[in-house]
Amino acid sequence: MSTTSNTDTTAAADATTDEAPVQLNRPKPVPKPGTWISAAVVIVLGAMFVHALVTNEKFHWDTVWFFFREVRVVRAVGWTLLLTFLAMAIGIVLAVTTAIMRQSSNPILRWVALGYLWFFRGTPIYTQLVFWGALASLYQYLSLGVPFGPELLTFPTRSVFTPFVAAVLGLGINEGAYLSEIVRSGLNSVDKGQSEAAGALGMSKNQILRRIVLPQAMRVIVPPTGNETISMLKTTSLVLAVPFTLDLTFVTNSYASLTYQIIPLLIVAAIWYIIITSILMVGQHYIERYYGRGFDSGKLSVSAGRGLSARQQAILNAHTTKEDPFMEVSP
């Protein structure tokens, strides 16, 4: 009877020990007075900056608030966004095409791509926009037909190359030259062994590019492309060179010229640009996180005497694989 009781007690103790949570060490954080001091300095400087803005009547915040909601200004924000996204769409298509041409085995395609990059990266964007705006003056009519032969269809240039179309083409074609190098660096970041392995499995070059190379290259391509998009948002202020007069910068400058309230209207434009940029940055963050799946940012955890990434550690914690994949298991 006593033996049975002792056995039950031992089993209960063992069960309690197994179910008890592991007590980890809880080290005290190292005090960092520099963090608190720097935070206090930043808070004080920020409060001083806000106080200087709010209390200065020369900023005319009532005027800022009025024009911030004005219909033409809000409509100009829409035109600016449309210019930005259409130009970036054209730039991305041209960039991918040019990057693939740069890697082609055909020397003609490579030299055509290099000539495109050489010209559009070598001339200022403002000069290019002036040229696109003057295209209708240089060529009053455009025609379709046999080269150096009869013309089948002729139409006025101004009916096609409106100021908006000229602005979009000027911004997009110029952007494609810069994005091309970003795409090319992303394609080169993917190990060639993966393309060779996919080719050995019978995949075509088009399939390898779409299914193997581009999805992995996006991790490298997305961050600088996001920066280029934000830069394009501000570059739209140069479309006056076309001239296109419905963008945010031109509209706010027009109101500033009419009302002589230069500083308030500059603040209106700046606030709108900051709001749009903030939204674009949030979108860029989520796109980067989507294409960065499976790649660790460098934070390592130590497991079994080796440095493992957080993703590898999660797989081990799921107990779906052996901790040592090279360990032989005999039945």
Question: Of 267, 245, 246, which is closest to residue 256 (Cα–Cα)?
Answer: 267
> Is 301 within a domain?
no
The whole domain housing 173 covers 78-244
> Is 185 within a domain?
yes
> Is 313 within a domain?
no
Percent of the chain topping pLDDT 90: 35
> Is 215 within a domain?
yes
Using left for φ > 0, alpha for ψ between -120 and 50, and beta otherwise, residue 60 falls in left
Could you tell me the two tokens for 183?
């795409």
CATH number, domain with residue 92: 1.10.3720.10
What is the rounded average pLDDT for all residues in the chain? 81
pTM over the 0.85 mark? no
Could you tell me the two tokens for 300?
């390592």
Using left for φ > 0, alpha for ψ between -120 and 50, and beta otherwise, residue 323 falls in alpha
79-117, pLDDT tens digit by residue? Answer: 999 999 999 999 999 999 999 888 888 889 999 999 999
Q: Dump the DSSP string for 212-238.
A: IIHHHHHHHHHHHHHHHHHHHHHHGGG
How much is the pLDDT for 26?
66
Q: What is the mean pLDDT of residues 311-316?
A: 59
Q: What is the mean pLDDT of residues 17-37?
A: 67
Using left for φ > 0, alpha for ψ between -120 and 50, and beta otherwise, residue 296 falls in beta
Q: What is the mean pLDDT of residues 245-262?
A: 90
329 — pLDDT class (breaks 50, 70, 90): very low
SS3 97: helix
How much is the pLDDT for 210?
82
SS3 141: strand
Q: What is the mean pLDDT of residues 168-192?
A: 90
> Is 57 within a domain?
no
Quick check: 77 pLDDT over 90? Answer: yes
How much is the pLDDT for 231?
92
Q: Give the chain's domain count.
A: 1
331 — pLDDT class (breaks 50, 70, 90): very low
Asked if 91 contacts 176 with a C-beta cutoff of 8 angstroms, the reply is yes
Percent of the chain topping pLDDT 70: 80
> Is 262 within a domain?
no
> Is 173 within a domain?
yes
What are the residues facing 307 on neighbouring strands? 302
> Is 270 within a domain?
no
